[in-house]
Amino acid sequence: MRHILTAGVVVGLLAACTPTEQGAGIGAATGAVVGGVATGNVRGAAVGAAIGGVSGALIGHVADQPGQCYYRDRYGRRYVDSC
């Protein structure tokens, strides 16, 4: 019962977020679980949360702009343009 209540609270909190924030939250949670299970320690969960959060934020940001993709120029700078 406690897990269902916790999941309900998390879903409620994410409902008020932008797509970028939602992507970061879901990515961090998923990354923490995968990292913790894969390594069996807290350090792996923390690294997984960090990587998942950044990846989720990037995906959520692009989802906020349909038809837009990230590109890099020859100097390594990132920019958004039509896909």
Identify which has the larger pLDDT, 43 or 78: 43
**Domain carrying residue 30:** 2-82
Residue 44: predicted pLDDT: 86
Residue 76 has pLDDT above 70, yes or no: yes
pTM for the model: 0.56
Identify which has the larger pLDDT, 69 or 49: 49
Identify which has the larger pLDDT, 22 or 34: 34
Across 30-55, average pLDDT: 86
Identify which has the larger pLDDT, 28 or 17: 28
Distance CA 44, CA 54 (A): 16
- Count of domains in the chain? 1
Q: How many helices (H) and strands (E) does the chain have?
A: 3, 2
Residue 62: predicted pLDDT: 67
Distance CA 4, CA 42 (A): 24
